[in-house]
Amino acid sequence: MSVIDEVVARTVTAAPRAEPDVRPSREPATARTPRLELSVGTAVSRYLDLASALHGTAIHYAVKANPHPVLLRALAQAGCHFDVASPAEVRAALAAGAPASHLVHSNPVARRDHLREAHDLGVRLFVLDSPGEVAKLADAAPGACVLVRIVTSGSGSDWPLSRKYGCSVEDAVALLLDAARLGLDPAGVSFHVGSQQRDPQAWGPPIRSAARVFGAVRAHGIRPWVLDLGGGFPAELEGGEVPSVSQFGAAIEAHLADAFGEDRPRTLVEPGRGIVGDAGTVVTSVVGVVDRGGVRWVFVDAGVFTGLVETLDEAIRYRLEVPGVGGTSGPCVLAGPTCDSADVLYETTPVSLPLSLAEGDELRIHAAGAYSTCYSTVGFNGFAPLPTVVTS
Amino acid sequence: MSVIDEVVARTVTAAPRAEPDVRPSREPATARTPRLELSVGTAVSRYLDLASALHGTAIHYAVKANPHPVLLRALAQAGCHFDVASPAEVRAALAAGAPASHLVHSNPVARRDHLREAHDLGVRLFVLDSPGEVAKLADAAPGACVLVRIVTSGSGSDWPLSRKYGCSVEDAVALLLDAARLGLDPAGVSFHVGSQQRDPQAWGPPIRSAARVFGAVRAHGIRPWVLDLGGGFPAELEGGEVPSVSQFGAAIEAHLADAFGEDRPRTLVEPGRGIVGDAGTVVTSVVGVVDRGGVRWVFVDAGVFTGLVETLDEAIRYRLEVPGVGGTSGPCVLAGPTCDSADVLYETTPVSLPLSLAEGDELRIHAAGAYSTCYSTVGFNGFAPLPTVVTS
């Protein structure tokens, strides 16, 4: 059974599951908590908005954000392409109906057998950022197209990326020349402006850097033809206004025109959260409310180990809603259900919740469609991975 | 299929699996990386050492640290009791052959249906720390025995616990009186000195606090009879000498004698890492070595999402070994295989590894038997959860 199959096996649909669940219950699966309610229609609509705002740019949905097969099929049918990083993700995209030519493999340092398998499955476009990987790719995927990832500052994003990936402009030029020497297609440049990026202007500096790489390799007679503008498009989390998709589109188009003029390459983007983030709501129930020396702790039945790991260091702040519970609100620490002391969602900056909130009340965690179900543990402490309920 | 069954289904044994795996390979499962090599004999031996050093104290292995069924069976056969926190963990301990009377349920804020199910399965001893939970337990598990968890400083531990659990001495007294009023057995006190605790004297202050609780409730005619000394016993990680099990035993015995004199309650401990930490080695292969502006990045095929989440914030530092690779060593950042920029193990304080380390070399991560397989994601980015290979 493949990894993606396992993710599928954990999905509940509107019909109750026939097989016994961890928690024997007479409630239908769709009413149990915790669960992710995933609106595939919302995700497809976000894809269409992005495709319209970035007319002429191919939209590659980042499968890692949420690999649910119903979502992938709907996106593929709507014309969406895919960003993949492992053989299991390649197979998931193919199973959803995408042709291999619609995939970009964007794991810059990958196992040789994984590269070979992706290539055998038909993938042709690969991202890398180091000399060792150019040689590895030439061996594992002869003739493949190479995008070299350049480093960015990540400024303006809620979750700036580490220095794990990306090389300098000078190194990118050398790598594309290397690629050509080794029989690969030196196709272009890739970058990523950081996750949950709120500033449309963040695309400006890396687009200009990419144009410098294009110019430098053209001087060697090489004609790169692709620019991968990465992901980072935000969901509607807490913490200030998010610009509209069309504002991102307009800013990116302006930067492309400015940097490349008439000689614009083919472009693609790799949104994950930007497509599926707002399509998902984690529905939890309150387990208990406890006073800890004057601090109010609210324990819910989803936590760090069951889908909400992005709350670590409180980098990502979800929008919360408690339907039907009113009255005065006050600051609360929000904690998960396992007996692990690390299973705390928001403590440094508490959340505001009604003081009348009590055991059994529902807490809805919005904009949680990305990096939730796929980040669940296999069942830490005996708590099942977050299941998905697909809505229209 | 229960959560624990799912963990079992992921286990590989010495024989290659018949069903197709994520990575088609002609290697036997025991030679593939990444994997956890789990020595059940080492874990049983650590249990026996603890039982000998803490003669008269019941050893309850914390199932959450590693719920592998072969491990649980071997520990149960050796006489070990268990610490559980959910119905799935109760069932796993029972399936391993432990009677329900050998279990302590130590999740202080739990779902009402979970408490009811644990009680229905025969569990009688429950930890809690708040008034709401006393009332909940009286409803869900009438007549159950109550341990009230008091807060500790966590000083001396590599991973001090958050303020998620534990009440004051005064509140503990009130909760035990409440419990008696609601028909529960006010059985005693529980505490936890923090994970990977290196200081045997850390048990002193909470043992003295517990004795104050015992004294105060005796004045109300209540005779508590159990003291749960928690876990925290360390594995042999990096970062300084770890005292021997007998040093911990001697210190704890001295503090108990000092605080309780002749009137000593029954005692229990809840070691997880202290039993299984040193029994496991994560075996990984180098995927690639990359120079990032003069900083050496080593990418391996296990990471934050495949079992090594305890490296987050670099709190836990595993001992590393590269068999058969010699020569000069130098500082390296250690990164995992997914394309997620958070999948970095050690960056702030790099690790020292041979400069000749190259793709395909094996890197062994020691003392990783606890909180590794169970912390794996369901398959983030298409990378399978860390499988276990049981050794003798």
ipTM for this model: 0.91
pLDDT per position as a tens digit, A304-316? 999 999 888 887 8
What is the nearest CA distance from B291 to chain A, expressed in angstroms? 8
Q: Could you give the CA distance from residue A86 to residue A161 in angstroms, rounded to a whole number?
A: 20
Residue A249 tokens, joined: 């589109």
Strands B295-300, B329-335: pairing kind = parallel
Strand, coil or helix: B371: coil
The pLDDT value given to residue A74:
98
The pLDDT value given to residue A160:
65
Where do the H-state alpha helices sit in chain A?
A: 3-9, 40-53, 69-78, 87-95, 112-120, 131-140, 169-181, 204-218, 245-260, 273-276
The pLDDT value given to residue A17:
32
Q: Could you give the CA distance from residue B322 to residue B354 in angstroms, rounded to a whole number?
A: 8
Q: Are A169 and A206 in contact (CB under 8 A)?
A: no
Residue A341 has pLDDT above 50, yes or no: yes
Q: Could you give the CA distance from residue A2 to residue B384 in angstroms, rounded to a whole number?
A: 8
pLDDT per position as a tens digit, B168-194? 999 999 999 999 999 999 999 999 998
What is the nearest CA distance from B249 to chain A, expressed in angstroms? 25
The pLDDT value given to residue B238:
80
The pLDDT value given to residue B236:
84
pLDDT per position as a tens digit, A5-53? 444 444 433 333 333 333 344 556 667 999 999 999 999 999 999 999 9
What is the nearest CA distance from A67 to chain B, expressed in angstroms? 8
pLDDT per position as a tens digit, B104-148? 999 999 999 999 999 999 999 999 999 999 999 999 999 999 999
Q: Which residue has better confidence, B154 or B275?
A: B275
Kindly determine whether residue A373 and residue B375, on different chains, have CB atoms separated by under 8 Å.
no
Closest-CA residue of chain B to A106: B339
Interface test with B, best of A164, A165, A304, A333 (most B CBs within 10 A): A164
What is the nearest CA distance from B337 to chain A, expressed in angstroms? 7
CB atoms under 10 Å from CB of A17, counted, come to 12
Kindly determine whether residue A375 and residue B377, on different chains, have CB atoms separated by under 8 Å.
yes
- The separation between CA A81 and the C-alpha centre of its own chain, rounded to angstroms, equals 14
Of B351, B371, B357, nearest to B308 by C-alpha is B371
The pLDDT value given to residue B241:
80
Chain B hits for A24, CB-CB cut-off 8 Å, are 117
Give me the domains of chain A, ranges plus CATH numbers.
3-37+277-391 (2.40.37.10), 41-276 (3.20.20.10)
pLDDT per position as a tens digit, B275-320? 999 999 999 999 999 999 899 999 999 999 999 998 888 878 999 9
Question: Which residues, 6 or more positions from B236, have their beta carbon under 8 angstroms from its beta carbon?
Answer: B242, B277, B278, B319, B366, B367
The whole-number average pLDDT for the span A143-167 is 86
> CA neighbours within 13 Å on the CB side: how many for A165?
29
Residue B40 has pLDDT above 50, yes or no: yes
Of B91, B109, B372, nearest to A303 by C-alpha is B109
Of A232, A227, A258, A226, nearest to A245 by C-alpha is A232
E-state strands within B63-144: 81-84, 103-105, 125-128
% of residues, chain A, pLDDT over 90: 83
Residue A374 has pLDDT above 50, yes or no: yes
Q: Could you give the CA distance from residue B11 to residue B89 in angstroms, rounded to a whole number?
A: 17
Candidates B88, B337, B344; nearest CB to A379: B88
pLDDT per position as a tens digit, A247-274? 999 999 999 999 999 999 999 999 999 9
pLDDT per position as a tens digit, A205-245? 999 999 999 999 999 999 999 999 999 999 888 877 889 99
